[in-house]
Chains A and B, each alone.
Chain A
Amino acid sequence: MAAAKQDPHVIGPDIYPQMLGRADAARAMMTLRSPAALTRAQAAMETCKGPMRKAILQYVEDLEAAGGDSARVYEKVHDIRGFAETVGMVTTGRIAESLCRYMDDMERAGRPVDATILALHVAAIARAARAEEGDQEIGEMVAAELAVLVARRLSEIERG
């Protein structure tokens, strides 16, 4: 016998336990909206980005070594897509996204992936990742040198 259809039952936010009590919620909202917390968070992200970019380059090597093993390719490209854009490797992330979508769509359609499309994406991801990492290194060097130059000029001005 089929179960009788149940009417939807709504449980209001005042009924179930909330993440924070009222007083803490007000303080937490001030924290989340404070520029200081956002600056701290952005600084924390910056410290994570270096190791993450290195990890992406390792994934790229794994990706190239995977050859035509589409399961392995998907695993690595999923990792790359997962955080390339978060660490500023935008082009790498977009190409990885394109390959992930293609592989997802082919799986949903029950069709095999085209080896040429796979190989072209892998080559493009590798090229983009190495270029973006190179650009990043150059950018950091230029920024560091400019910071030294600015500090020196300011110091000269202070000394009169």
Chain B
Amino acid sequence: MSGAGFENIRALIVEDNAHMRSLLRALLNSAGIKEVAEAAHGGTALTVLRERKSDLVLSDLAMKPMDGLEFTRQVRNSEQSPNPFVPIIMITGHTERYRVEAARDAGVTEFLAKPITAANLFSRIAEIIERPRPFVRCDSYFGPDRRRKAIENYAGPWRRQDDFQDRELR
């Protein structure tokens, strides 16, 4: 059962450090994801995405000249983006709250803090498969729903059309 289920998956690693790219590739390979492309920064990654279908992206945050946040914004919002819905796992050692919020607001799907472990990476991929999040489009944002939890006694304000539909259904 070596890597069953991932035979047709193509992944893209966006990371400026060659050693970290090798490590991530090895981890994906061990899950059965054999088709893995690499890019050293966001600009190259956008080119790769346009030339080759990718089903999953693992991206570092701090890279030059284009960092992971700008890369994510481009993937989500650019008219040239081949797949604005592609899952993006942001992998970074920058775990300060403002950076996590910036990654969320750029449209990342999952956030994985370094140090990396196989179990943590697998759990993020499992989360994407098992609990795919709705996408939200509004004036200032397009990307996975940033609300992780439904708050039982939330009294509003209600901002979305389907919020009203949901409440009427209850």
Q: Residues of A with Cβ closer than 8 Å to B?
A: 3, 5-13, 16-20, 24-34, 36-38, 40-45, 47-48, 51-52, 55, 78-79, 81-83, 85-86, 93, 97, 100-101, 104
Contacts and interface: CB of A to CB of B under 8 A. Distances in A.
Contacts of A13: 132-134
Contact of B115 (A16, A40, A93): A93
A83 to B, nearest CB: 6
A26 B5 contact: yes
A34 B126 CA distance: 12
The SS class assigned to the B binding surface is loop
Interface string B123-140: 101101110111111110
A36 B133 CA distance: 28
The SS class assigned to the A binding surface is helix
Contact of A19 (B7, B23, B128, B162): B128
B139 A3 contact: yes
Interface string B82-124: 0101010000011010000000000000000011111101110
B35 to A, nearest CB: 13
A51 B55 CA distance: 29
Contacts of A81: 93, 114
A44 B29 contact: yes
Contacts of A28: 4-6, 32, 125, 129
Contact of B55 (A5, A19, A86): A19
Interface stretch (B14-22, B41-49, B73-81, B149-157): B14-22
